[in-house]
Amino acid sequence: DQQVKQNSPSLSVQEGRISILNCDYTNSMFDYFLWYKKYPAEGPTFLISISSIKDKNEDGRFTVFLNKSAKHLSLHIVPSQPGDSAVYFCAAVKNNAGNMLTFGGGTRLMVKP
Amino acid sequence: DVKVTQSSRYLVKRTGEKVFLECVQDMDHENMFWYRQDPGLGLRLIYFSYDVKMKEKGDIPEGYSVSREKKERFSLILESASTNQTSMYLCASSLYDEQFFGPGTRLTVL
């Protein structure tokens, strides 16, 4: 059973608008969360992260929100750009599992010019 | 910048062949990982290693083995390749939580 889920396999957004990518998790032992971005034929690259002691982390156009009670996190991209078109994975780390990441299934974001 | 390299970008093998996938990182990271990526399933951990000669099973180790004889190199071995092992294989390394990935190897088993 997947402990980290991204229920939307794809998302299409107009350039300049907000993109919201969602991620849900089931294991309350997760205490650190990361978002990765993956272009075709490349490995995933780290985008932004958040610790469970925070509910928001911002880096330029990217903001991650964490709702621990709902076991839900979201990545907001504002404004969206065509170069943001990629597959986005959320990942979670358990507080007693060293450096192991558990990944969601990914969401393909398409930003239309 | 961290660099993680994988020996092949594309590989085609036949059922029953032994397959070696090599991964090298240049940042002296202690932790190295092998994942496979399949549509809708995200990245699933096959094996990881915290140090030279150490290995731990991930979520889907069946049909795979690994070798870490040197700190910078982590090899994934498919002892007898099967068609259900056709996938994208990604290697990663890390010092802490953030993992750095290689470009991936697209393996097709015929």
pLDDT digits (tens, 9 = 90+) for A87-102: 999 999 987 666 789 9
Distance from the Cα of A80 to chain B's closest Cα (Å) equals 23
Contacting residues of B for A103, CB less than 8 Å apart? 35, 42-44
- How much is the pLDDT for A95? 74
Residue B39: predicted pLDDT: 85
Q: How many CB atoms lie within 10 A of CB B106?
A: 16
CB A91 within 8 A of CB A77: no
CB distance B52 to B31 below 8 Å: no
User: What's the pLDDT tens digit per position in B18-53?
Assistant: 999 999 999 999 999 999 999 888 899 999 999 999
The token pair that represents A15 in the structure block:
């350039």
Q: Do B97 and A9 count as a contact with CB atoms less than 8 A apart?
A: no
Closest by CA position to B48, among listed B30, B71, B31, B69: B31
Q: What is the pLDDT of residues B69-88, one digit of tens each?
A: 999 999 999 999 999 999 99
Q: Taking the mean position of all CA atoms in its chain, how far away is CA B86?
A: 13
Interface test with A, best of B27, B51, B98, B107 (most A CBs within 10 A): B98
Strand partners, A49: A34
For residue A44, the SS3 value is coil
Question: What integer is the mean pLDDT of A92-113?
Answer: 88
pLDDT at A17 over 80: yes
